[in-house]
Structure 1
């Protein structure tokens, strides 16, 4: 069977509500190995499957990160969180000791991969409660020397990391429970709810992380979380209440807000 013409693919995607139909059509065409595969991929996308799940990868910090079905798709705004973490990890590293970085709620492992790709030496650990995410993260981090653990927040991390973590990245879910149903169907239907739902005000998981983080951080170590602009003041309260010096970093370009909390140096 012949491949569908690009114009027909664009028309199909546009009719399905894809805003960037032309770009998506080109990506699908380049990814498909046969006309039948291309037709199937276009049908999946038109039916509402996230483009990244159809392609099997997402672009993140100039990396192509594998993203399996039912795994949280890394957002472009989260690249701001990655850049903040990279700078802190770079500052923490010494010629004698690489920085120790932990990526909690790691999903596909995109954040850990971005940090590892930017630093020549790194001790990297990642963790997620979702088995599908753990399998995906292991694929993305294995060649970078990362260790991926399955379990709830800090529970599966090796105990030798306590008091040694220089940079703790926690891209926790922060959508308030009542707002999850308002999300686009791509997220609501095709991503795990545990990766989206942050509880009544969206900050339940963040508070759990913030309460436990000081025991894992090295002196001078930092915890970074992404949040909304509206939630940031409440996140800062949680950070300072647990002994962390907190600041808020924002990116107007990416519409991103990151709260960074640091332990005092030794």
Structure 2
């Protein structure tokens, strides 16, 4: 058990840091999926605890146990070494400490950090407002297949081989039905504001390359592009966002 001096040396997470950790896990315990906040007497009540992945004041046997394990930060109170857990999962993780539990928590934290970093890129990469003109014009798309694809457009099968089969089928379906409509709307936009489509395509490719640089695989990139598209445009429907991302995969130098 930690001594009173060890306890007093702990740095209590600030409210802002607790909010960051809460947001990092999307408000749910990453271990059991339990909500980490609830309404109680018309007020929000916090149900999570900030857990140290590598213990703040390790017992002698824990020092030996974790001697050869990865540490996410030398400072145990650093954000890298902290994670929001419900009280039950925090207790299970700490007692008893195991190598398997520690390794799993390290991997979980790394994945949460990767996803959180992708989310922070959304607001650094904005699409020109003209894209909303195209989106609004497609609000009443007909549910019928359109003309054959342009021969100049790359086939989905020729794109990155990392795409999983089910995702590739989804993209192909969206392209079959909507590619021609979207391409025509971009052409109409270019007549009003020349080079608008080129600018938008370039912005999409730039964001794609940033995601790729962060180490995301192509399936993760599709999800991240879809979420980003919803975030920076007027699109609130995920399927509509996926339709546009599928168009960009087919039309731009994305996934090539």
Answer yes or no: same fold by TM over 0.5.
no
TM-score scaled by structure 1? Answer: 0.25
Question: Quick check: which one's strand share is greater?
Answer: 1
Q: Which has the larger share of helix? A: 2
